[in-house]
């Protein structure tokens, strides 16, 4: 099992967020900031975790890439992929989440990856949910990462959504094994949706003194300010070039 790392200080955390968002600029910076906060809180509480972080943004439609896998030690993006949600969670947009067996709904929150195995869906990765009442039934529910032929982006464009799982974050078969091998054995997976009870109640938000909503807003505002500065600078350079 991986040893707990020391959580980054505010300046280091800010630089890490900036580096990772630069690697995945299409991603909501607030969601990324929240994932990094959850990881930091987990490390502070003694949770063992490796240097890979997978982030899933279930507020996005299934027709878009909405899973990103990062290296946080040598900051960079490793994968950006489509990922399925559960049949009980919605059609193209997911808006219902559960920790209950038989619901066929996806679970939110912070997970730690565990062992691999070969089952009915081929090579698969077990996960342990770290949030009581939110996702801690993941192992018993067989919520695992696996490949599935219904995760087909081209078909999704034609039918308006990806195929759906029984709650698992399923991936394209072509990349499933390599993604699984990248994030197996004590890496963290963060699954997001703007669910108020979870955002207010998760023990993995607030270690730095800010609420989840504040973290989301601060990161989004900072990214918008940076974009505005970059746009103004580009405009100034264009104007200078025409003089």
- pTM for the model stands at 0.90
Per-residue H/E/C for 152-201? CHHHHHHHCCCCCECCCCCECHHHHHHHHHHHCCCCEEEEECCCHHHHHH
- Looking at residue 236, its pLDDT comes to 52
Tell me the C-alpha to C-alpha distance, in Å, between residue 40 and each of 15, 33, 115, 189, 194: 14, 10, 23, 13, 20
What is the token pair recorded at 229? 């500065």
Closest CA to 85 of 11, 160, 151: 151
Distance of alpha carbon 173 from the chain centroid: 19
Asked whether 56 and 162 are in contact (CB, 8 A), the reply is no
- Looking at residue 109, its pLDDT comes to 99
> Looking at domain 10-236, does it have CATH number 2.40.440.10?
yes
Residue segments in the chain with a per-residue pLDDT below the cut of 50: 229
In the sheet that holds 109-119, the strands lie side by side as: 76-81, 67-71, 52-57, 188-192, 109-119, 122-129, 144-146
Q: What is the pLDDT of residues 137-168, one digit of tens each?
A: 999 999 999 999 999 999 999 999 999 999 99
Asked whether 132 and 110 are in contact (CB, 8 A), the reply is no
What is the token pair recorded at 113? 């990856």
Domain regions of the chain by residue span: 10-236
DSSP-assigned letter for residue 147? B
């Amino acid at each position: 099992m991986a040893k707990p790392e020391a959580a980054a200080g505010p300046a280091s955390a800010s630089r890490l967020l900036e580096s990772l968002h630069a690697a995945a600029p299409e991603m909501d910076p607030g969601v990324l900031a929240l994932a990094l906060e959850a990881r930091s809180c987990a490390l502070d509480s003694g949770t063992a975790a490796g240097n890979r972080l997978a982030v899933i943004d279930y507020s996005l439609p299934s027709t878009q890439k909405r899973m990103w896998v990062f290296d946080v030690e040598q900051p960079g993006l490793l994968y950006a992929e489509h990922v399925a949600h559960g049949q009980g969670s919605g059609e193209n947009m997911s808006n219902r989440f559960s920790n209950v067996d038989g619901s066929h709904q996806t679970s939110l929150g912070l997970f730690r990856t565990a062992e691999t195995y070969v089952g009915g869906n081929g090579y698969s990765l077990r996960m342990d949910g770290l949030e009581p009442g939110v996702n801690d039934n993941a192992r018993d529910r067989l919520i695992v990462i696996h490949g599935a032929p219904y995760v087909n982006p081209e078909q999704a464009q034609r039918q308006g959504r990806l195929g759906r799982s029984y709650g698992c974050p399923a991936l394209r078969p072509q990349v499933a094994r390599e993604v699984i091998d990248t994030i197996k054995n004590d890496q963290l997976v963060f699954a997001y949706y703007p669910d108020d009870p979870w955002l207010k109640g998760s023990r993995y938000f607030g270690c730095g003194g800010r609420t989840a909503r504040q973290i989301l807003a601060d990161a989004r505002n900072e990214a918008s300010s940076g974009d505005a500065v970059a746009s103004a600078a580009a405009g100034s350079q264009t104007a200078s070039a025409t003089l």
